[in-house]
Structure 1
Amino acid sequence: MTDKPTPEETPTERLLREALNARASLVTAQSLRQDTPPSRRLRRLRPVLTVTVPLLGLAAAVAIGVVRIDGDQVAKRDDTPPAATLTATPSPSVSPSPSPSPSATTSDSPEAPAATAGTPYTFQKVGLEIPDGWRIAESKDTLRLCLMSPGAPAGATYNQCQPYGVEIAAYDTEVLPNVTWPSEANLDSASGWSHQPFCALWDNPYAPTELGAVRRVGAPQRSVQQINGRTASMTKWQVDCSGKQFTARMWGFHKEQVFVVASGLKAEYEDGLTTILNSLDVSRRGDVLGTGKAGDIKVQFGEPTSTTVDGTETVAFQVTWTNVGQTSYSHVEPVVAGQHDEQEFATPTGPVEERIPTGTLERKDGSSWTALPLRMGTGMDYAGLGRSAAFSLAPGKSRTVTYRMKLTTKDHMASLNMVGQAFLDTSGGSYTKIGDVASYVPIHPHS
């Protein structure tokens, strides 16, 4: 039976109708039998349809749903490359992550387009992920990286990382305290945020010109966190800038010398900050300072408090020992003492002379105080004084001990240089150091 064209039928519609009819006539009971492959006659007809009327054959296929499933699969697969991917300042020490995922490229532009969600990136052997909508604004010295949040102003550069982004620094050598930002000296100090100082206020970031315009509110909050199998110290400060406040936070990996800073970051970008922190992989950094086991225990001095009664000043402070290594220690001996090298102090009459400070040092053991030498001797005998206060320390765990010093007015000192150390069992006469830090305890100068 041949259908007659209707008066409204166009030549194209007629050809399409005839093609469909020809196709339908091939379907017989024989061809519908189960487990029977298509006949050769059917295969010979395919090129006739595609070559003679290619557009009409395609239209017919769509009309009867032949390629709909495959078409949907293609539409759902994302084969397009990321738009320009990440960009960074060229540097031999900053490289894309070796991953089949889209990796970073280099560019001289200070701006970079937003990264896709979870984009892997490698910086100074630190692996991390760039959250969706964040971008890289890299420092020229190659030791610092800024991950700029989606809310950063257009064109914001590394110098504006605070408060608009998250700053990461990684060092291969020991950096000078109070010179390099961010560093462990900033992390461990009572007010490391004021090293700049800078008011990281989201709506109006600025460097104040008035002395004392930036001040800490309350005591710093410290904690120890485990991130991808590595121990990180974290300090949080609340900061006031002429009546307006922001929160400053810093994380630090002691042996790996990696530091992360977020100051004044808006709460709506906390998820991005969490993504960055949780993705941090510093395992390839290793022991960059070459401290070996001597760097397994991080020693940190807390902020001292001072009272003066009848010309005698009592300075109390806490020292914390944290296991940042991978070894569990069953016996750690804590040691605190004044440094044995001779110091120079100003006398009331003006000349500078070498003076050995007098006074006492005590350690709080339970509810009692144990007397200790205020200064180191020239040998190692002082190290054994921590034996009675020894404790176990698993990876990521901390122990805090309270000390106090009593100094008289004749010492005329503004501060006393101290050391905090950790030793393995010294009962056999050997002194294996597994932690060491030099610090100072400020003392009110006496007249």
Structure 2
Amino acid sequence: SGGAGEIEKLALQVPATQWDALQLLQSLGFRVNPNRQICQSAADVQAYYNEWATKRAQLSYLTDGVVVKLNDFVLQQQLGFTQKFPRWAVALKYPAEEVPTVLENVSFQVGRTGAVTPVAELRPVQLAGTTVARATLHNADRLAELDIHRGDTVIVRKAGEIIPEVVRVLAELRPEDATNVTMPTRCPECDSPLVKPEGEAVTRCINSSCPAIVQGAISHWTRRDALDIEGLGEKWVKQLVEQGLVESVADLYSLTVESLLPLDRMGQQLAQKLVDAIAASKARPWASVLYGLGIRHVGTVNAKTLAQHFLTVEDLSTASPDEIATVHTIGPEIAQSVAQWFQVPANQTLIARLAQAKLQLAATPEEQAQAAAAGPLAGKTLVLTGTLPTLTRPEATKLIEAAGGKVTSSVSKATDYLVAGEKAGSKLTKAEGLGVIILSEAELLTLIT
């Protein structure tokens, strides 16, 4: 209500530094941390860090470190961000709080990937503001390293101030009747033999029908950032698996109200809600379905990236590891994992069943048009000639089309790029005569990524 003059006055107060921004926010009535400090050197940062190592216990909230930020906004903008974090800020963590307690037992949990994780069952103890009664023991290698026994006194801390873990064993306090803990050789859920692949730390159950694996896969599928099936929580998933109603996520789409009614505490109205929620999940986008499949190393970010590049499940399932690895932020390990997943016959059957159930296994026409229009080769015409070092002609064509380009068979004045490999023939000569830009395979990959 103050008019243009007041707006102009506010515009002149736009802060140039982090410190000025905090000062402005405070003057406007916002709560900001009163313990902030400008540091002129690394020594000042170290002194501040050391000071709060003990003083943080006096705060009314828990803190596990201090954050150091570049003050100048221009420098912040120049440094930018990684995929997840700013390059202009760093967290300096304090050593995690450690407390002793007694290991009463060890249980073994089987996750949705078949990974078997030993879990310490502890005498409850207060740690970093919460009561801790369970802690991870990670894997077989860690068990052997700790030489842990039931009845041992152990030191526990929270990894990253979140996940409780056993740090070490106080062997000198070990009771005489303590029994050694080792990894089981058979799955605690389905009794199948466990395997520990060479070069990996994780022990796995490889029985795809293992109830724990099936239950984990379905629970993952129902998550909000996957298929978002409201109301289908773990207790219902467990019953569905135990009753033999569901053996894969595809089975969810065959459930009826009548098939759900025999479940414990299930009524007509609730059964109808679950069936409706499952049906509604068919509208979830291709990226959510890809994430829901639970492919190793494919989280929500990678699923979205892959779905934007490979616009249909057919494109992705037929892509080679090298082709997948050309996608920005997708490394060789992720690419290999994705390619291997689609080579498994059971997974191919799953995709076929999901397609039959009418789930979204491709980008919508609007999304495909947007992807093409926004691609680095949008509106460009390319011609391929010769033998490329790593890509086949169909693979190169897919990459170009996914980047918004069009591939034609002959060179003309309308050709923007000629991608030339070994033994390029008359097309190369004609392109050079027309002044068409010549690309190698490496230059093409650089252009589209």
Which is strand-richer, 1 or 2? 1
Which is helix-richer, 1 or 2? 2
> Could you say whether these structures have the same fold, taking a TM-score greater than 0.5 normalized by the shorter chain as the test?
no
Normalised by the length of structure 2, the TM-score is 0.22
Normalised by the length of structure 1, the TM-score is 0.22
Choose between structure 1 and 2 for higher RCO, CA contacts under 8 A separated by at least 6 residues: 1
